[in-house]
Amino acid sequence: MAMKDAENDLLDRMQFRADLLADDTMAAIMGPWSDAAHAFPQAPEWEKQWKKIAAVTKIFGDWTSNENLSAWQPTAGVAPEICAPLLQYVAASRTLPEWADAKKMARAEKLFMDYGVLSVTLLFCASLPECYVIPDLSAVLHVTGQLEKHTDYRVRSTGAMIFPVMMHGGMTDATGGGLAQIFKVRLIHATIRNLILRDSPKDAVAHLTANALGVVPPLAAVSDATNMHQMLFAHGWKTREDGLPCNQEELAYTLLTFSYVFLRGLRTLGLGFTRSDEEAYLHTWNVAGHMLGIDRALMADTMDGAEKLFAQMQARGRADQQDHATDPRPDLGNALINAMKSVIPLNLFKPFPQLMTCHLVGAATSKDLGLTTSVPWLSQILFYTMLWVSRVIDSVVRVVWPEFSITRFLMRILGYHLITKLMMDQTRPLKLPQHLLNRISEVVENWSDDKKAPGWLNSVEDRFTTRGSWNSARAK
């Protein structure tokens, strides 16, 4: 019990910790919000801050690779109050931690490549849904309407970080783009905190210790704004009750959805890695977490440790939801499921994303996300029959062919529809530099065949996927 209390005490403290380096960077750039902003909301009071955010976003376009990031120098015309903090930020955080293991990272990159399309399926049907269980995380997404109204934007933003991080040399090679993307995301998190709190997180916590209520009142005058930054600014926040937005606990939880939940999903499907491969994958995302400003104390190096930490964080999040009057999670969950359904061609198979998500995340998370809508019985019978038969076939054939998997074949079919229609639609490319888009296109093309499957199975897969149209689009 004492150990459990100590762990909860740590997480309690982490709710009031964010990312000092990134937060100080954005605080220096944004400057103090006008006192009028708290009591007399008129747009001109904040115009200079909106322009600064736009300037930083424009600079992000210069961070196209790890090499460009490391050697970045501001162009002429950018205000010194923006350039100086960014130069300090890059200089202070561009080096990998001493404990980073290049061999483990290379192994994790290869695993991601080998299971590429399946990785996308697990992202959509496990990692993202689990991410929305924590109510304060869901509240921020709900405020901006990112998932209900712009599901593809949220998904593509996530893909814009995961692909560069997990491709070959993503965080270790000069030509990689993982660090450049991480540095952008880290500052985006700091911007969100600065906007919601209308202050630096450090100062917001200091005000709490001075017995302030820690309430940031909502601003009705801009509450109907369509600009994401203005919606965050207008939302309001109760720091004493909810901790800091995008705090350390929430960041660490999100990190686990990309590492632990992915590996757990493979286990659920009967495709689990070896222990050493699982730990290499966890390690690589822990390195990414460090570069994102996440405290090492909130990282797990083994699956047992990750399972325990993840369960503890989820339990705390579910308990916290009981104190909230509204629950945005069902809207978010159903928006994600509906987006996946929209790319499945036949009505009989459209319920498969919901069924797969429920299978991977379990009953508790399915209930949290409101994934309780009725599914046609024929689709249910087909889905679970296919799942059961594939597991039986796999267990028999693997006696003589260890890498054979019908389950992987089925997940690849679903994954191709998701990646080509929701993530890699050529009419709406990921917001990445062109050289990274070209590399990702090559990666997806290399996923056209399952290297571990016999040729006849790949031919069958061709008939059920959009690979032909994807390759045709690339050729044009």
pLDDT in tens, 375-412: 999 999 999 999 999 888 888 887 787 777 778 777 77
**pLDDT score recorded for residue 106:** 97
CA pair distance 37, 195, nearest whole angstrom: 11
pLDDT band at 16 (very low <50, low <70, confident <90, very high): very high
Dihedral sign for Cα atoms in the order 344, 348, 352, 353: positive
Closest by CA position to 301, among listed 329, 325, 320, 278? 278
Contact 394, 406 (CB under 8 A): yes
CA pair distance 296, 287, nearest whole angstrom: 9
Token output for 231 = 């919606």
Token output for 296 = 């090492």
Contact 176, 155 (CB under 8 A): no
The rounded mean pLDDT for the chain is 83
Residues 6 or more apart whose CB falls under 8 angstroms from that of 470 comprise: 416, 420, 424, 444, 445
pLDDT band at 456 (very low <50, low <70, confident <90, very high): very low
**Residue 222: burial class (beta carbons within 10 Å; 0-12, 13-18, 19+):** middle
pLDDT band at 232 (very low <50, low <70, confident <90, very high): confident
Query: Rounded to 5 degrees, what angle do the CA atoms 73, 289, 440 make?
Result: 70
Report pTM. 0.88
pLDDT in tens, 307-345: 999 999 999 988 887 766 678 888 888 888 988 888 888
Question: What is residue 123's DSSP assignment?
Answer: I
Give Cα separations from 209 to 53, 213, 363 (angstroms): 29, 10, 40
CA pair distance 196, 48, nearest whole angstrom: 17
| CB crowding 437-453: b at 16 or more within 10 Å, else e | bebbbebbeebbbbeeb
What distance, in Å, lies between the first and last C-alpha atoms of the chain?
63
* Inter-axis angle of helices 248-258 and 2-14, nearest 10: 100
Question: What is residue 298's DSSP assignment?
Answer: G
Query: Rounded to 5 degrees, what angle do the CA atoms 385, 338, 307 make?
Result: 65
Q: Which residue has the higher pLDDT, 14 or 461?
A: 14
**pLDDT score recorded for residue 225:** 59
